[in-house]
Amino acid sequence: MYAIVRAGGRQEKVSVDDVLNIDKVSAETGATITWQPILVVDDDNVVSDVDKLSGYTVTAEVLGETKGPKINILKYKNKTGYKKRQGHRQKHTQVRVTGISAK
């Protein structure tokens, strides 16, 4: 059984005991997050109707905060002496999916 949920600005395919890195969420370590699924697949049964999906919930436990890969940004203009370096690391929240349940 798996579900598709909207976590931050992306859609993620999740099943029980999956560990995901999602966009930063303002929840403490050990807190529980619930999502409303967009699609639920249980063997041959595929649920995509909005009315039926309102009965499903996906729960996840917050494991902690992580950082994404380092991105190096370099701006350069030829023959002018202009050069600028900048770096960035996106902050993520690591979660473990604990259950996909129907009400």
Q: What is the pTM of this model?
A: 0.82
Owner of token pair 């995901």? 20
Q: What is the pLDDT of residues 49-67, one digit of tens each?
A: 999 999 999 999 999 999 9
Tokens of 45: 């049964």
CA distance 89 to 72: 9
For 50, the 3-state DSSP assignment is helix
Owner of token pair 């729960």? 59
What does the pLDDT read at residue 8? 82
Rg for the chain, CA atoms, rounded: 19
Q: Are strands 82-88 and 45-47 parallel, antiparallel or unpaired?
A: unpaired
Kindly give, in sequence order, each residue whose CB lies less than 8 Å from that of residue 69, ignoring residues fewer than 6 positions away: 89
Q: Which of 43, 70, 39, 8 is nearest to 95 (CA)?
A: 8
Q: What is the pLDDT of residues 4-41, one digit of tens each?
A: 999 988 999 999 999 999 999 999 999 999 999 999 99
Q: How many residues does the chain have?
A: 103
